[in-house]
Amino acid sequence: MAERGASRADESASSLIWAWRHPRPEGAQGRCIGRTDLRVDPRRARRLARRIDRAARRAGLPRMVWTSPLRRCAAVGRWLRRLGWTHRIDPALLEMDFGAWDGLSWDAIARAEVDAWCADFSHGRPGGGESLARMLERAAAWPVAPAVVVAHGGWMLARRWSTTRGTLPRVHEWPAAPGYGELWRLG
Q: What is the pLDDT of residues 10-37, one digit of tens each?
A: 445 667 899 999 999 999 999 999 999 9
The neighbouring-strand residues paired with 88 are 66
- C-alpha–C-alpha distance, residues 133 and 115, integer Å: 17
Domains of the chain: 12-186 (3.40.50.1240)
pTM of the model: 0.91
Q: What is the pLDDT of residues 86-127, one digit of tens each?
A: 999 999 999 999 999 999 999 999 999 999 999 999 999 999
pLDDT at 133 over 70: yes
User: For the chain, how many residues are written?
Assistant: 187
**pLDDT for res 145:** 76
Q: Among positive and negative, which fits the CA dihedral 80, 84, 85, 89?
A: positive
Residue-averaged pLDDT of the chain: 92
pLDDT at 9 over 70: no
**pLDDT for res 2:** 43
- C-alpha–C-alpha distance, residues 21 and 173, integer Å: 21
Q: What value does the mean pLDDT take over residues 158-163?
A: 94
